[in-house]
Amino acid sequence: MMRRRVENQQVACIQTQEKRRRRGGNSAESYSAFSRCYLDLAIAKRCRLHKLIRQRFALAMKFQQEDFAFIISADEATVSSRNAKTSSRKKIQAKLLDNQTQATAASSRELI
């Protein structure tokens, strides 16, 4: 659709130029009208280009935010699994310590 619009603008510029040529207008006037048409086309092209750049930048920001969220969630999952492993290790160590304490108490009773 954009391509058609540009083509239509170019055709309109050329037709305007042809009309001026047929009328026998001043060459300076025809040149300025012709350059004005191309200036309008250049401005329209630049605006479309800036729009595409803005869209691409917004898309890149969206990807970056998704990647960041994914990394954070992966880190949180790793931390929670580490905490679970640490707590289970602490429980095992506490049980071993209790068993050792009971064994030591039992052996000290036997000695008495």
Only one residue has tokens 């880190």, namely 75
Q: Is the pLDDT of residue 13 over 70?
A: no
What whole-number percentage of the chain has pLDDT above 70?
A: 59
Cβ contact 17:37 at 8 Å: yes
Question: Above 60 in pLDDT, residue 40?
Answer: yes
Tell me, what DSSP letter sits at residue 24?
T
Number of domains in the chain: 1
pLDDT in tens, 49-76: 888 888 999 999 999 989 888 888 887 7
Residue 59: predicted pLDDT: 92
Residue 30 has pLDDT above 70, yes or no: no
Sign of CA dihedral 52, 53, 58, 61: positive
Residue-range definition of the domain harbouring residue 15: 2-111
pTM of the model: 0.38
